Amino acid sequence: MTLSPVPDDDDLYELVVVRHGTRTGLRSEAYLSYATYGEPDGPQTTDYYLWVARNRSRTMLIDTGFAATPAARRGRTVLLPPATAYRELGVDVGAGHPVIITHAHWDHIGNLGLFPRSTFHIAQAELDFWTSEAASAPLLSHFAERDEVDRLVRLHRLGRVTTFVSRASPAPGIEVVAVGGHTPGQSMVTVNTLEGVVLLTSDVVHFTEELERRMPFISVTDLPGMYRGFGLVSELMSSGAVRRIVTGHDPCELDHLLRLTGPIGEHAGVIGALPGTPIRSNS
Ligand SMILES: [Zn+2]
């Protein structure tokens, strides 16, 4: 697709939210120590997303979704293969667009190999952790794919991975902030859009309920850090520093978004659509 010639500023983006996979499990599989709450168990849908921030000057990819093989092994349903999503969005995977990696779990770094010329931005703590002895413990390694982490390490050796300690601005209008909690370098991203600053929490917050009721996700490396992350997100919202948040896995994320035209619109919504972006008229 093409964007209109001018009205967007260099540091103002549209944020495309792509749902590429799904799984329905149990609440007790999603929330840590669920029995503590004394509530009945029930179904919990987890959706899988990748994100694209773009304007007429640049495209920034944020996470790359999961790969088909581990998804099948882990019983996830593929709604739209990420490679297809990028193609339908008009993202040229060979163009060297930078990629922010919010953390190195399998469902966020599954397709790095699609991007032969890209550089990748990740928190130093995340890279350090996954190359440490501790990461091989089963309760931690379960959430990563060895070959995908190895690819990340190889890319780092090749000089294609840029790390940051607490925060970085890989492009004007986009900031990535290391928060920790879910993983040691779990990061979230702010994107400046026509609808204000959007906070893409990634897995600092998986589900809206997780944030609202302070119910940590089942996979965590630093529990106090995870609670601090909730506090930080809430503070950013209540102070007005961010206009809205987009969580990492809530099945409702696309519900109120404008949908793109064409088949991709089934799986993709857009926040702060730039002039010229084709939007479904009935959305
Ligand atoms: Zn995730």
Res 5: pLDDT: 45
Say what the pLDDT of residue 3 is: 46
**Backbone phi, psi, residue 173, to 5°:** 85, 0
Mean pLDDT, range 50-55, rounded to an integer = 98
Return residues with CB closer than 5 A to ligand 1 (ion). 107, 203
Q: Pairing between strand 196-202 and 99-100?
A: unpaired
Q: How far is the CA of 277 from the centre of ligand 1 (A)?
A: 28
- HSE-up (13 A, CA, CB side) for residue 63: 31
CA of 255 to the centre of ligand 1 (A): 19
Q: How confident is the model at residue 282 (pLDDT cuts 50, 70, 90)?
A: low
Average pLDDT of every residue of the chain: 95
Tell me: the pLDDT tens digits for 1-22? Answer: 444 444 447 999 999 999 999 9
Helical (H) or strand (E) element with 236: helix 223-238
Mean pLDDT of 55-61: 96
pLDDT digits (tens, 9 = 90+) for 132-151: 999 999 999 999 999 999 99
CA gap 32, 173 in Å, rounded: 34
The answer to whether the CB of 83 falls within 8 A of the CB of 93 is yes
Residues 6+ apart with CB under 8 A from 159: none
pTM for the structure as a whole: 0.95
β pairing state of 161-164 and 77-78: unpaired
* Averaged pLDDT for residues 204-223: 98
Tell me how far the alpha carbon of residue 9 lies from the centroid of ligand 1, in angstroms: 31
Q: CA–CA separation, 128 vs 139, rounded Å? A: 18
Residue 92 has pLDDT above 60, yes or no: yes
pLDDT tens digits along 95-143: 999 999 999 999 999 999 999 999 999 999 999 999 999 999 999 999 9
